[in-house]
């Protein structure tokens, strides 16, 4: 499995496929071409100074007579953890705050309206270890923890909605932990929070040791820049999870993730893109970058030798649109900011073309699923 030395699928295609064929390859792999955004040169200069990648694309929609274009710019942030995982907890959090602050400054220069960070962005993805301390010390209150207060300042300063996925400690309910995304309005107020609905039990993703499946359903957040929702990481494998956010009216669904090449890299380009098509919304898939080494060896009962790292987090964050088009991915190896300009009118336009909501037969599935989950259910299988 390739590590940092293999930069990206896009770079490989550009290098090896002749231009005429490349156009056809991209048409099939990426859908209708996205326009490159003309971002300010000082944004590129700052990104280069701060050593992160900056890319920008725009999705178009047809003009309508009765609705003006509903243009919104989203920012997707992918990053490595800047300090070793055995550095003091407070120093690791502070270093991540500093790194993200620098990236958000550039996002603001690029006119970003809604920004989303990666899953549990304030910590290493240490759930593989199944150890409690020091990792549980990274948990914070969603309402008024230091990271939420930090994001409130960013939101207000830059007039940007911030989606901040953290490890939450819920002090109101026995100090339990959750995998949560806090949504902060551009006014600086906390709009609310949403929790990871599906917890992986695969490979080293030993997350069920730390928190339970979310209990907040599928909230959608009304912002001045459209209705947004957050489907955290492993939830992207569950089509019903995406569907419920869409049924509740989400126009943009963020998918902050932490996933490794050996497990999911071939699924990555498919799942969020398919969700955008099936639910006529925009989806924003974000993954962290690099290898994180932990002080103590761990195993996961899968016959692999004890090891000290999770594997390679392959970045490759991208945005997909309801017409099936998508941006190229950010690199597999560098911190990055992906800016995408969306015209939200495309959501309803695609719904009208494909009629997925109209033809969805939800009442039939509601009835059949209600039966299928009963303990005495017996599947309808007809035999000779």
Catalytic site positions: 119, 196, 233
d(CA 42, CA 44): 5
- Exactly one of 206, 231, 259, 316 binds ligand URP (CB under 6 A); that residue is 259
Stretch that binds ligand URP, among 107-115, 130-138, 252-260, 288-296 (CB under 6 A): 252-260
Q: Could you give the CA distance from residue 113 to residue 74 in angstroms, rounded to a whole number?
A: 6
Q: Which stretch binds ligand URP (CB under 6 A): 90-98, 163-171, 244-252, 255-263?
A: 255-263
Residues near ligand URP (CB under 6 A), total: 11
Listed ranges 50-58, 98-106, 253-261, 359-367: which one lies at the site for ligand URP (CB under 6 A): 253-261
Sign, CA torsion 285/242/150/148: negative
Nearer to ligand URP, 198 or 348 (CB): 198
Residue 204 beta carbon to ligand URP: minimum distance, rounded to whole angstroms = 9
Report the nearest approach of ligand URP to the CB of residue 236 (Å). 7
Residues in 113-142 at the binding interface with ligand URP, rule: CB under 6 A: 119
Torsion of CA 56, 61, 67, 70, to 10 degrees: -20
**What is the spatial distance between Cα 245 and Cα 230, in angstroms, rounded to a whole number?**
8
Alpha helix segments (H runs only) across the chain: 9-16, 19-30, 41-49, 89-109, 146-158, 239-247, 261-264, 268-278, 345-354, 356-359, 362-372
| Candidate residues 39, 77, 103, 233; the one interacting with ligand URP per rule CB under 6 A | 233
CB of 234 to ligand URP, least distance (A): 3
| Shortest Å distance, C-beta 235 to ligand URP | 8
Q: DSSP per residue over 252-306, as a string?
A: EEEEE---BHHHHTTTHHHHHHHHHHHTTSEEEEE--EE--EEEEEE--SSSPPP
- Which residues are near ligand URP by CB under 6 A? 119, 200, 205, 233-234, 237, 257-259, 263-264
């Amino acid at each position: 499995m390739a590590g940092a030395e293999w930069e990206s699928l896009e770079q490989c295609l550009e290098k090896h496929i002749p231009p005429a064929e490349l156009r056809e390859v991209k048409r099939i792999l990426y859908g209708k071409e996205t326009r490159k955004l003309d971002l300010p040169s000082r944004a590129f200069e700052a990104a280069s100074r701060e050593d992160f990648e900056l890319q920008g694309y725009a999705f178009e929609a047809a003009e309508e007579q009765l609705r003006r274009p509903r243009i919104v710019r989203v920012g997707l942030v992918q990053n490595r953890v800047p300090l070793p995982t055995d550095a003091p907890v407070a120093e690791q959090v502070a270093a991540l705050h500093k790194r993200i602050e620098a990236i958000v400054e550039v996002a603001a220069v690029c006119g970003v309206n809604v920004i989303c960070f990666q899953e549990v962005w304030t910590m290493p993805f240490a759930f593989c270890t199944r150890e409690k301390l020091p990792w549980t010390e990274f948990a914070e209150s969603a309402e008024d923890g230091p990271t939420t207060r930090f994001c409130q300042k960013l939101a207000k300063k830059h007039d940007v909605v911030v989606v901040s996925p953290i490890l939450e400690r819920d002090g109101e309910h026995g100090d339990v932990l959750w995998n949560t995304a806090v949504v902060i309005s551009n006014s600086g107020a906390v709009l609310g929070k949403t929790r990871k609905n599906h917890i992986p039990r695969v490979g080293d993703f030993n997350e069920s040791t730390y928190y339970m499946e979310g209990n907040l359903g599928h909230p959608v957040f009304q912002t001045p820049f459209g209705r947004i929702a957050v489907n955290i990481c492993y939830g992207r494998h569950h089509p019903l999870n995406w569907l419920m956010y869409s049924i509740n009216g989400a126009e943009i669904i963020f998918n902050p993730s932490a996933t490794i090449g050996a497990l999911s890299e071939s699924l990555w380009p498919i799942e969020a893109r398919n969700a955008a098509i099936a639910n006529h919304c925009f989806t924003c898939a974000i993954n962290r970058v690099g290898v994180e080494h932990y002080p103590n060896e761990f195993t996961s009962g899968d016959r692999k030798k004890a090891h000290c790292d999770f594997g390679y987090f392959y970045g490759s964050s991208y945005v997909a649109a309801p017409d099936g088009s998508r941006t190229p991915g950010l690199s597999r190896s560098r911190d990055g900011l992906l800016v995408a300009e969306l015209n939200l009118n495309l959501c309803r336009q695609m719904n009208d073309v494909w009629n997925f909501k109209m033809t969805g037969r939800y009442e039939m599935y509601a009835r059949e699923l209600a039966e299928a989950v009963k303990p005495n259910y017996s599947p309808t299988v007809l035999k000779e």
